[in-house]
């Protein structure tokens, strides 16, 4: 029997389609946090993983979808998971940094992260946000465009996730525990990995990751730096990459030989297989332009044209030297927002809060440390002290005594930040936050200092994307440098490398109420105190306040 579609049915169908289009789907994931033995790098020690996998499972969703991830903690460590770069509009409870927005998920406990993906599309990552567990507890988070919405670039033949990471032969928690006891720096990693494989390593016949391609086709590489402590270069022999998106925001297509990705950053690039046959080396190696100990082992993978015999030698590529500032700077400085009618760059032009934070290291006396002192790190000379309960709960329930909101808008003592270091290198301690009214606009200048050593710091802000309106070397000049700001199409990101002995200026609108962590994404610096948080008050409007906490929110 043939059924006629009555006009009212059409109206209903259209309304339903529209509703589902706007609301998106609900995607369910289950993350079992388990210890798993692995033979990577010829070591058989168990590592902490999600679902026994390293890297962990990829979370796929579309813009407007709601994602529910049930996390079950089967290991003996406390756990929490962060959805790095997800805006979490009003849902800070699902953001994940332990003691900032939630108490950790204790052994045997369960918590379901519940969040909606709004106004973002591209590649992000998820990772553990407690201790150093993110070394092995991490994976990709892919936000596809809404159904029927094309990419603003030619549709690739295939998409591949490339996760870059660092590997320690010994237990990472033991590595940092030992460093905290001594007061000095932790051991650097023993290898880098590309999709969990280091490539040929001495005395360990691990093969490298193989990326199979067909001649003439274009592939989308979703490149993620999940390393703990190192910014990384990524290159493919005799192939160029066209970067189309970073940190889940589209950029003007940028052709390049090498990209640099800081920990926490993501870069989506198109790769056209424009040779007919062969194997080509893919490399990832450290970018570090200050005299600091690094893991200088290059991880390798191969680009494998289908049909090329397995045993063929791969065409090599020269990796940039670790201190290749020019390579990093020319890449980072060339990224621009796509800035079209569909994807506009809404850069705040009027500024309500103009902030200036120095980034530095320091040394404090430590009675229990074997060396008698301990290295510290800070914003505006304040090493952040982690509370014992979640800051977001303290804010939501107006609990006093957990934090203060007097984080200074500028350094308490001004000095020649990139000149000779002051004699006093001690830092202050405090759980101090900076308070922002709802919807206020912020300009934040991040100034690296020569305290102990100048260094490139990848600074990550939770809860927001920001526009990188300027970067430069030396001390920020508050009269001259703002004249050169790009307020038209600056790149939009969630993590920015502040150059060694230089500065970066970012702008954002505080349109997301809650408590939002900001820290260096070099985990060693976070451990040492290079972190702080913003508290953004509720607005007056109906959709401008933090939603009530979920009933299964972990307790401390
Ligand atoms: Cu990707 Cu607070 O971290």
pLDDT tens for each residue of 309-348: 988 899 999 999 999 999 999 999 999 999 999 999 999 9
Alpha carbon of 361 to those of 364, 426, 457: distances in Å?
10, 9, 11
Q: What are phi and psi of 522, to 5 degrees?
A: -80, 110
Q: Which residues contact 480 (CB under 8 A, 6 or more apart)?
A: none
**Residue 485 CA, ligand 1 centroid: distance in Å:** 27
Q: Provide the Cα torsion 341, 345, 350, 354; round to 10°.
A: 170
Please report which helix (H) or strand (E) contains residue 116, including its range: strand 110-116
Tokens of 261: 């990705």
- 165: nearest Cα among 210, 208, 229, 122: 229
pLDDT value of position 17:
52
Query: Over the Cα atoms of the chain, what is R_g?
Result: 23
Angstrom distances, CA of residue 345 to CA of 87, 156, 504, 505: 16, 25, 18, 16
Tell whether ligand 1 has an atom less than 6 A from the beta carbon of residue 462: yes
Q: What separation in Å is there between the alpha carbon of 248 and the centre of ligand 1?
A: 15
d(CA 329, CA 341): 29
Q: Are 208 and 302 in contact (CB under 8 A)?
A: yes
In the reported structure, the alpha carbon of residue 157 is separated from the centroid of ligand 1 by a whole-number distance in angstroms of 31
Q: Taking the CA of residue 232 as centre, how many other CA atoms within 13 Å lie in the half-sphere pointing to its CB?
A: 34
Binding site membership of 40 for ligand 1 (Cβ less than 6 Å) = no
Between CA 459 and CA 264 the distance in angstroms is 9
User: Would you say the CB of residue 126 lies under 6 angstroms from ligand 1?
Assistant: no
The answer to whether 63 touches 115, Cβ cutoff 8 Å, is no
Of 485, 147, 494, 152, give the one whose Cα is nearest residue 344.
152
Identify the segments of the chain with pLDDT beneath 50.
Answer: 1-3
Q: Rounded to whole angstroms, how far apart are CA atoms 450 and 166?
A: 27
517 lines ligand 1 (CB under 6 A): yes
Kindly give the distance from the C-alpha atom of residue 501 to the centroid of ligand 1, in angstroms, as a whole number.
23
CB distance 531 to ligand 1 below 6 Å: no
519 lines ligand 1 (CB under 6 A): yes
H or E element, residue 13: helix 7-23
How far apart CA 522 and CA 524 sit, in angstroms, is 6
Cα of 84 vs centre of ligand 1, distance in Å, is 6
Q: Which two tokens stand for residue 91?
A: 């849902």
Check for a shared fold between 158-333 and 353-544. Answer: yes
Q: How far is the CA of 203 from the centre of ligand 1 (A)?
A: 34
Q: How far apart are the CA of 148 and the centre of ligand 1, in A?
A: 31
The domain covering 7-144 belongs, at the CATH homologous superfamily level, to Cupredoxins -  blue copper proteins (2.60.40.420)
Strand partners for 258: 235
Relative to beta strand 158-167, strand 191-194 is antiparallel
Helix or strand (DSSP H, E) at 523: helix 523-527
Cβ of 264 below 6 Å from ligand 1: yes
The CA 129 to ligand 1 mean position distance, Å, reads 7
Q: How far apart are CA 392 and CA 396, in angstroms?
A: 6
Nearest CA to ligand 1 atom 3: 84
**Domain at 353-544, CATH from 2.40.50.140, 3.30.450.20, 2.60.40.420, 3.40.47.10:** 2.60.40.420
| Per-residue pLDDT, 1 | 41
- Count of alpha carbons within 13 Å of 210, Cβ hemisphere only? 15
pLDDT of residue 51: 98
C-alpha–C-alpha distance, residues 545 and 547, integer Å: 6
Cβ atoms within 10 Å, residue 480: 9
| Ligand 1 binding pocket includes 104 (Cβ within 6 Å) | no
- List the structure tokens of 345: 């760059």
Cα-Cα-Cα-Cα dihedral sign, residues 414, 416, 421, 422: negative
Q: Which atom of ligand 1 is nearest to the CA of 263?
A: 1
Please give the structure tokens belonging to residue 168. 């320690």
Task: Give bridge partners of residue 268 from the DSSP assignment.
Answer: 222, 245
Element (H, E) at 502: strand 502-509
Cβ neighbours of residue 294 closer than 8 Å, sequence gap 6 or more: 188, 230, 286, 288, 322
pTM of the model: 0.95
Q: Which DSSP symbol is given to 79? A: B
For 338, the token pair is: 């796509």
Helix extents (H) in 351-501? 391-396
Structure-block tokens of residue 108: 């045997």
Please tell me if the CB atom of residue 127 comes closer than 6 angstroms to any atom of ligand 1: yes
| Nearest-atom index, ligand 1, CA of 125 | 1
DSSP annotation of 555 reads -
462 CA closest ligand 1 atom index: 2
CB 201 within 8 A of CB 40: no
Would you call 440 helix, strand, or coil by DSSP? coil
Q: Are 290 and 188 in contact (CB under 8 A)?
A: no
Q: Under CATH, which number does the domain 158-333 receive?
A: 2.60.40.420
Q: What is the pLDDT of residue 355?
A: 98
User: What is the atom index within ligand 1 of the atom nearest the CA of 134?
Assistant: 1
Q: Which residues contact 423 (CB under 8 A, 6 or more apart)?
A: none
What pLDDT does 207 receive?
Answer: 79
Alpha-carbon 358 to chain mean position: 21
Each domain of the chain, given as residue ranges in start order, spans 7-144, 158-333, 353-544
CB of 134 sitting under 6 A from ligand 1: no
Q: Report whether residue 458 contacts ligand 1, using a CB cutoff of 6 Å.
A: no
């Amino acid at each position: 029997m043939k059924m006629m579609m009555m006009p009212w049915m059409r109206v209903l169908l259209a309304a339903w389609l529209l509703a589902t289009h706007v609301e998106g789907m609900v995607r369910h994931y289950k993350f079992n946090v388990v210890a798993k033995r692995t033979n990577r790098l010829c070591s058989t020690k168990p590592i902490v993983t999600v679902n026994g996998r390293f890297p962990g499972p990829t979370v796929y969703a579309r813009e407007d979808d709601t994602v529910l991830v049930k996390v079950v903690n089967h290991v003996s460590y406390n756990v929490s998971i962060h959805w790095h770069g997800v805006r979490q509009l009003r849902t800070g409870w699902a953001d994940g940094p332990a003691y900032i927005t939630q108490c950790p998920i204790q052994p045997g406990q369960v918590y379901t992260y519940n969040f909606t993906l709004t106004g973002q599309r591209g590649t992000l990552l998820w990772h553990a946000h407690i201790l150093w567990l993110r070394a092995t507890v991490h994976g990709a988070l892919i936000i596809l465009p809404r159904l029927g919405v094309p990419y603003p670039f030619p549709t690739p033949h295939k998409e591949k996730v490339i996760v870059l990471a660092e590997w320690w032969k010994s237990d990472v928690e033991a590595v940092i525990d030992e460093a905290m006891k001594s007061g000095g720096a932790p051991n650097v990693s023993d290898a880098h990995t590309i999709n969990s494989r280091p490539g040929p390593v001495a005395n360990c016949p691990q093969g490298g990751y193989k990326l199979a391609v067909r001649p003439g086709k274009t592939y989308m590489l979703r490149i993620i730096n999940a390393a703990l402590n190192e910014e990384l270069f990524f290159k493919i022999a005799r192939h160029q990459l066209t970067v189309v998106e970073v940190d889940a925001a589209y950029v003007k297509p940028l052709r390049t030989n090498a990209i640099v990705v800081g920990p926490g950053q993501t870069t989506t690039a198109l790769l056209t297989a424009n040779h007919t046959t062969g194997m080509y080396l893919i490399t990832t190696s450290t970018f570090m332009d200050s005299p600091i100990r690094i893991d200088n082992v290059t991880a390798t993978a191969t680009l494998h044209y289908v049909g090329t015999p397995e045993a063929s030698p791969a065409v090599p590529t020269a990796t940039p030297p670790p201190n290749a500032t020019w390579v990093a700077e020319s890449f980072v400085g060339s990224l621009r927002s796509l800035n079209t009618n569909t994807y506009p760059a809404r850069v705040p032009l009027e500024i309500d809060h103009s902030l200036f934070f120095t980034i530095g290291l320091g040394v404090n006396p430590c009675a229990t440390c074997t060396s008698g002192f301990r290295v510290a790190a800070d914003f505006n000379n304040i090493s952040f002290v982690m509370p014992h309960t979640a800051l977001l709960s303290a804010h939501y329930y107006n609990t006093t005594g957990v934090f203060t909101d007097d984080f200074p808008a500028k350094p308490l003592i001004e000095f020649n930040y990139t000149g000779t270091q002051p004699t006093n290198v001690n830092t202050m301690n405090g759980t101090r936050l900076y308070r922002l009214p709802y919807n206020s606009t912020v300009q934040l200048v991040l100034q690296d200092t020569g305290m102990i050593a100048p260094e490139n710091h990848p600074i990550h802000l939770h809860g927001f994307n920001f526009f990188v309106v300027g970067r430069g070397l030396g001390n920020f000049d508050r009269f001259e440098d703002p004249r050169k700001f790009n307020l038209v199409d600056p790149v939009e990101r969630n993590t920015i490398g502040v150059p060694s002995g230089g500065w970066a200026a970012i702008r954002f609108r505080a349109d997301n109420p809650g408590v939002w962590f900001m820290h260096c994404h070099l985990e060693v610096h976070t451990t040492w105190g290079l972190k702080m948080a913003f508290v953004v008050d509720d607005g007056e409007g109906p959709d401008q306040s933090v939603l009530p906490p979920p009933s299964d929110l972990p307790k401390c």
